[in-house]
Structure 1
């Protein structure tokens, strides 16, 4: 049956930024599809809640509290996957993000930190996990990028450059790791997570954002998780080096930061 191609039965996944939002939804979705999951973020209490949900689904969850801005921490995720779950089949690089900032306030250091947190961390985890994945015959990597890596808007220079670089890193990693490891990305739009609380809790702001989105609403974390499952599973087995938009159809930023002309 076609639905069987979306299964991850007895596979092992690593999901970063898995304490809340898209990462948590993805980890749970993978468990529902039959995977055991290493989940990581900076907040143990969030991870424990996700781990409890995964256990209730009959799958195993290994919690690794870590700040992946320190790329030396990525080895712990791979080590946990191997020692506790037997290997690595899927990696989801969800950790990342950068606050908007006007151009003239965007220092060299701010730009470099945005690149490091969104790109260097992802590449470091892929580099650490790839040898283990190859030992098991291959696998899949899903990078969570952003529509802001493709469209232009004021105030998004650091974030957009970093996510654009992550999208292209996806294509380059796919070339390096083909044919046994597939590497793809999701270009995510505005999703109702804690990162958008300021929008979700402000009705006029939310209405403006939804009105500027062709589907007239914010996305939900489980919609991104479903797309990640497609790319991670055999259902996406003939897809590599691609970025899949999950963005409500936007082709320009749907949040005007109200920055004045220079």
Structure 2
């Protein structure tokens, strides 16, 4: 059965930023496909809620509350997977993000922090996970990038540059780690998470965003989780070094920030 190729029975995954939104949806999707999951984010209460849902799905979850803005904490998650479950097969580098800011207000330090949070953290966990993935016979890594890594819009210089770098990091890491470890990315569009809450709760803003999206809707976290499941499961076993665009068809920002011309 073709659906069997989407199974992760007996596998172990680490998902960062898994207390809510895309990370939580992804962790639950991997569990429903048969994996045990190491969950990590700042807030234990959120992680415990996701862990309970994973238990309801018949799988095990290990909760690691941590501030993943620094690479060091992310690197420890691979060891947590091996110590708890005895192996590691899947890594999802989901944690990341940077607030919009005009170029004139984007300091060098702010730009460097965007790289550290979006690229450095992913690299730290990827590098730490490689020995365990090889010990398990190979595995899959998925990085969560963004449509803003390939389109241009005012206010997204730090965020878009970091996410564009993460996409290229994905291609380069895939070359280094082939053939046993596959590395791919998902470039997400506008998804109904807490980061987009101000739009989701404002009918006028939501209508503007949906009208500017070819598929005429905001994405659900499960849309991204399904793509990640494909890339981490045997269904995606012939895919590496690719950035899968799951963005509703966007070719430009679907909600401008309204930043004025410089004078």
In the superposition, the TM-score normalised over structure 2's length comes to 0.99
Q: Alpha-carbon deviation of 1:78? A: 1.4
* 1:109-124 alignment, distance < 5 Å: 109-124=109-124
Q: 1-side partners of 2:59 and 2:36: how far apart? A: 5
1:187 aligns with: 187
1:251 aligns with: 251
Q: 2-side partners of 1:52 and 1:24: how far apart? A: 11
Moved more, 77-86 or 236-245: 77-86
Deviations 1:109-145 (A, max 9, x none): 1100001000000011000001110011100000000
Q: Alpha-carbon deviation of 1:68? A: 1.2
Report if the CA contact (8 A) 1:48-1:63 is conserved.
yes
Q: 2-side partners of 1:69 and 1:103: how far apart? A: 22
**RMSD between aligned alpha carbons?**
0.6
Q: Alpha-carbon deviation of 1:74? A: 2.2
1:197 aligns with: 197
Q: Alpha-carbon deviation of 1:79? A: 1.7
Deviations 1:65-114 (A, max 9, x none): 01111211123311210111111100000000001101100110110000
Deviations 1:219-254 (A, max 9, x none): 000010000000000000000000000000000000
Q: 1-side partners of 2:75 and 2:96: how far apart? A: 18
* Secondary structure class of the residue paired with 1:163: helix
In the superposition, the TM-score normalised over structure 1's length comes to 0.99
Q: 2-side partners of 1:211 and 1:75: how far apart? A: 41
Question: Unpaired runs of 5+ in structure 2?
Answer: none
1:99 aligns with: 99
Q: 1-side partners of 2:160 and 2:198: how far apart? A: 20
Report if the CA contact (8 A) 2:71-2:116 is conserved.
no
> Which stretches of structure 1, 4 residues or more, deviate above 4 A after TM superposition?
none
Q: 1-side partners of 2:75 and 2:17: how far apart? A: 15
2:220 aligns with: 220
Q: 2-side partners of 1:149 and 1:74: how far apart? A: 22
Question: Unpaired runs of 5+ in structure 1?
Answer: none
Q: 2-side partners of 1:157 and 1:259: how far apart? A: 13
* 1:130-169 alignment, distance < 5 Å: 130-169=130-169
Report if the CA contact (8 A) 1:64-1:76 is conserved.
no
Q: 2-side partners of 1:71 and 1:219: how far apart? A: 29
Q: 2-side partners of 1:65 and 1:128: how far apart? A: 18
1:68 aligns with: 68
Q: 1-side partners of 2:20 and 2:247: how far apart? A: 19
